[in-house]
Amino acid sequence: MGKITIIGAGMMGSALAFPARENGHEVCLVGTPLDKDIITESKKTNKHPKFDIAFPEGVKYFYFEEWKEAVKGSDFVIGGVSSFGVDWFLNEILSYLDPAMPVLSVTKGLIDLEDGTLISYPDYWQRELAKKGINRKVCAIGGPCTSYELVYHDQTEVAFCGEDRDILKMMKNMMKTSYYHISLTSDVVGLESAVALKNGYALGIAMTIGLCERENGKDCGLHFNSQAGAFYQAVKEMTYLLNMQGAKEKSFFIGFGDLYVTVYGGRTRKVGILLGQGYTYNEAMEILAGVTLESLVVAQRVARAIRKKAARGEVNLADFPLLMHADDVINKGKDALLPWEDFTYED
């Protein structure tokens, strides 16, 4: 039996306690300073307040102040923070954690540098830690996986990425189950880009659901032509971007799978529908108060990066009409009605 410590008691970090503990490992779930209520509830009931199913027996719960105690003797640490906690995880955990301790991150996103270069969170952490004289490489998880379905043991396919194959194999052997299936890849930037980009594009596709409801009433049912048309455009634009990022082909496929599951469930779907229904960005944020919306951050960062590259003649903005539209809806108050004719082509 091994030991795995998860730092961050949000839904995805907490969901990973299920395969980890069900494999017989000691599992420590550590809350961030924002997770005190979750840890308190879990200690009392052995249940995350947002899950219908109790944690496997034996999971141990720790407040953030106890994280160093929880980590002792771990085979590896899982970073379970959202993209809004990237710098917190850097400054409060990675800067003090033994550099020899392997880390697996569930955080999805990209950071745009001043010149428009898009880098992954593992790359960002590595760069920032190097400034402190710390040599660390972080592994990451990517793939079509919603936390609540993982908890229910729905068949799930993901990939672990990193530069050290032996570490990846160790992590896989400790985490794989009959329902949690893990591929391994060294394509860190490709995988991380693919699963980050899908957030912004899922937002655009989900707008079509709200637009149909605006046009035909909320009881109109799903209209698949418009969703498929936007999905096709999203895949096309993601392909351009992933080629730009130098991603390997298999990372494309995982990203497209992740796009599918994000359109059909979760927070990004909710905000996209609201925008499609005609709510402004600010109104949608009020309705979804307290919901973490990483998709909006990704869309804004990638759009900003592409505009910088376009200004230097490196890319053509006309190749990214769905991305630019989503960004304009969020930042400029543009109506969500998609620019359908911009998706057409002649060859």
Determine the pLDDT at residue 298: 86
- Average pLDDT for the chain: 94
All structural domains of the chain with their residue ranges: 3-186, 190-343
Q: What is the 3-state secondary structure (H, E, C) of 125-177?
A: HHHHHHCCCCCCCCEEEECCCCHHHHHCCCCEEEEEECCCHHHHHHHHHHHCC
pLDDT at residue 217 is higher than 90: no
Q: Binning pLDDT at 50, 70 and 90, where does residue 292 land? A: low
Write the burial class of residue 249 (CB in 10 Å: 0-12 exposed, 13-18 middle, 19+ buried). Answer: exposed
Contact 199/258 with Cβ under 8 angstroms? no
Cα R_g (the chain), whole angstroms: 20
pLDDT at 342: 97
Q: What percentage of the chain exceeds 90 in pLDDT?
A: 85
Q: 190-343 adopts what CATH topology?
A: N-(1-d-carboxylethyl)-l-norvaline Dehydrogenase; domain 2 (1.10.1040)
Same fold, 3-186 and 190-343: no
- Which range, of 161-165, 289-293, 314-318, averages the lowest pLDDT? 289-293
Residue 291 pLDDT greater than 70, yes or no: no
Which tens digits make up the pLDDT trace of 298-312? Answer: 889 999 999 999 999
pLDDT of residue 199: 86
111 beta partners: 119
Looking at the domain 3-186, which fold is it? Answer: Rossmann fold (3.40.50)
Q: What pLDDT, in 10s, does the model give residues 120-172?
A: 999 999 999 999 999 999 999 999 999 999 999 999 999 999 999 999 999 99
Q: What is the pLDDT of residues 328-344, one digit of tens each?
A: 999 899 999 999 999 99
Confidence of residue 43 (pLDDT cuts 50, 70, 90): very high
Percent of the chain, pLDDT > 70? 99
Please state the rounded mean pLDDT for residues 259-284.
Answer: 89
